């Protein structure tokens, strides 16, 4: 290893080298700075390699976990702790979990890790398979988490707004044929209705809509773009 140049930075000192240092190289660097006169060696942190964020994904696991519940980031962290494959792996962000497709029962788990310049940790993970119970999962390299596309016109999952063939916009709150900003004026649940046994008054301005949500995808009581949607 040959040092190209040394420059100070806000977090300490950055050393640019012609290749990736190994542990013995880091030890030499640490001893050198601790031997410099006028520097308190107790205030010198151990040198470390610069790291970057790498993007990976796990495929081959079912979307519904134990007790038929959706797999969560906590589940991912838990099984990583118990697998030797993920030893010394540091997650850079919270894992992202979605269905492989809107009606699939399989999951895609995106997770980002911190790795050094030559990506040695990622190399141990990419294209590696592992057993998790009766499942065989595979780790793949990927780009930044793209997620599952959702149309912002009809609010259905699986395609973009550009590909939407619906002739009318839908409300992501009540799934009726109007945009969300017109919900109070056009939705049956917020308009005046004197024909009911108990006449319905218009929702007062400034107050949230008191009526239940209806997802256009699963018919659940939440907005169509809510993460709780099982689709």
CATH architecture of 51-141: 2-Layer Sandwich (3.30)
192 vs 2 pLDDT, higher one: 192
- Which tokens belong to 81? 């702790």
Q: Is there a contact between 134 and 62 (Cβ–Cβ < 8 Å)? A: no
How far CA 132 is from CA of 72, 184, 207, in Å, comes to: 15, 49, 48
Compute CA distances 165 → 119, 155, 160, whole Å.
43, 12, 10
What is the pLDDT confidence band of residue 4, given thresholds at 50, 70 and 90? very low
Q: Is the pLDDT of residue 99 over 60?
A: yes
pLDDT digits 0-9 by tens, 202-212 = 677 667 777 77
Q: Which residue has the tokens 């592992």?
A: 130
What integer is the mean pLDDT of 27-54?
Answer: 72
* Rounded percentage of the chain residues whose pLDDT exceeds 90: 4
- Residue boundaries of the structural domains of the chain: 3-43, 51-141, 171-231
**Rounded to 5 degrees, what are φ and ψ at 18?**
-85, -10
Kindly state the average pLDDT of the residues 166-193.
Answer: 80
* Cβ–Cβ under 8 Å, residues 59 and 140: yes
Contact 174, 214 (CB under 8 A): yes
pLDDT in tens, 77-98: 888 888 888 888 888 877 888 8
Q: How confident is the model at residue 138 (pLDDT cuts 50, 70, 90)?
A: very high
Q: What is the pLDDT of residue 221?
A: 82
pTM for the model stands at 0.50
How far is the C-alpha of 56 from the C-alpha of 80, rounded, in Å? 14
E strand map for 31-127: 51-62, 96-99, 106-116
**Which stretches does DSSP call E strand in the chain?**
3-9, 12-17, 51-62, 96-99, 106-116, 129-132, 135-141
H helical segments located in 161-202: 183-186
Rounded CA separation 3/12 (Å): 17
């Amino acid at each position: 290893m040959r040092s190209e140049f040394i420059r100070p930075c806000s977090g300490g000192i950055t050393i640019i080298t012609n290749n990736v240092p190994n542990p013995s190289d880091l030890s030499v660097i640490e001893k050198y700075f601790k031997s410099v006169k006028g520097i308190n060696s107790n205030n010198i942190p151990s040198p470390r390699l610069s790291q970057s964020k790498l993007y990976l994904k796990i495929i081959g696991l079912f979307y519904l976990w134990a007790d038929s519940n959706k797999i969560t980031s906590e589940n991912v962290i838990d099984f990583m702790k118990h697998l030797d494959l993920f030893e010394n792996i540091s997650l850079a962000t919270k894992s992202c979990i979605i269905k492989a497709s809107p009606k699939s029962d399989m999951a895609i788990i995106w997770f980002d890790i911190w790795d050094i310049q030559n990506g040695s940790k990622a190399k141990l993970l990419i294209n590696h398979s592992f057993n998790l119970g009766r499942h065989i999962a595979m780790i793949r390299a990927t780009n930044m988490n793209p997620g599952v596309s959702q149309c912002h016109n009809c609010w259905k999952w699986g395609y973009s707004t550009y590909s939407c063939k619906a002739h009318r916009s839908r409300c992501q709150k009540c799934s009726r044929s109007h945009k969300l900003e017109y919900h109070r004026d056009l939705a049956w649940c917020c308009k005046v209705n004197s024909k009911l046994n108990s006449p319905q008054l218009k929702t007062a301005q400034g107050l949230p809509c008191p009526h239940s949500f209806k997802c256009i995808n699963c018919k659940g009581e939440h907005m169509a773009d809510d993460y709780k949607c099982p689709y």
